[in-house]
Amino acid sequence: MTLLKLNNQNMFHINLIFVILSTMFVNLATAEFYQDCGSPAGVITDVEVDECKPTDKVCILKKNTNATITIKFKTNQPTESVTADVHGIVAGRSIAFPLANSNGCFKSGLLCPLAEGVENTYENTLAILKVYPSLSVKVKWELKNEKGEDLACVLIAAKIKT
């Protein structure tokens, strides 16, 4: 029977494997229910959705209720106006989710015009209608400036349930 000889090269490989596995477990433990899906005109600093914890991998949206989203972000340039655009992505297809108020500068917490580099807090509510099917969905919530550029683009892993 031959025992593994622990020389410097073997120790290096063992340490490398340990670092890789540790990184994987830390990333799994800190997984969030949302991702930045590309925000070239801004930087997302935080996202909150009612009933979702930051460490949840999937946000549960209950039918016949409202889900309030809060997006904190900074713009990379002065911004005159903000428009919200929300879609559900199911099986690769994008389906528009209608908002009662898509004007980000009206009753959403934003005071337009927005100054560059200042943190802003946007808040809106999405009705989770009873007629929506129970399924997994990626919710794509975009906040666009007057040029149509994304100030914030958030992709939320969600599941609609009864």
Q: What is the pLDDT of residues 73-104, one digit of tens each?
A: 999 999 999 999 999 999 899 999 888 899 99
Let me know if 93 is exposed, middle or buried by CB neighbors in 10 A (0-12, 13-18, 19+): exposed
Inform me whether the pLDDT recorded for 15 exceeds 90. no
Pairwise CA distance, residues 157 & 162, whole Å = 17
Q: pLDDT confidence of 24, banded at 50, 70, 90?
A: very low
Residue pair 70/45 in contact (Cβ under 8 Å)? The answer is: no
Q: Which residue has the higher pLDDT, 144 or 25?
A: 144
Q: Which residue has the higher pLDDT, 3 or 112?
A: 112
SS3 state at 104: coil
Domain boundaries, the chain: 33-161
Residue pair 135/159 in contact (Cβ under 8 Å)? The answer is: yes
- Residue 7 pLDDT: 57
Task: Write down the CATH number for the domain with range 33-161.
Answer: 2.60.40.770
Residue pair 115/75 in contact (Cβ under 8 Å)? The answer is: yes
pLDDT single digits (tens) 118-154: 999 999 988 888 998 999 999 999 999 999 999 999 9
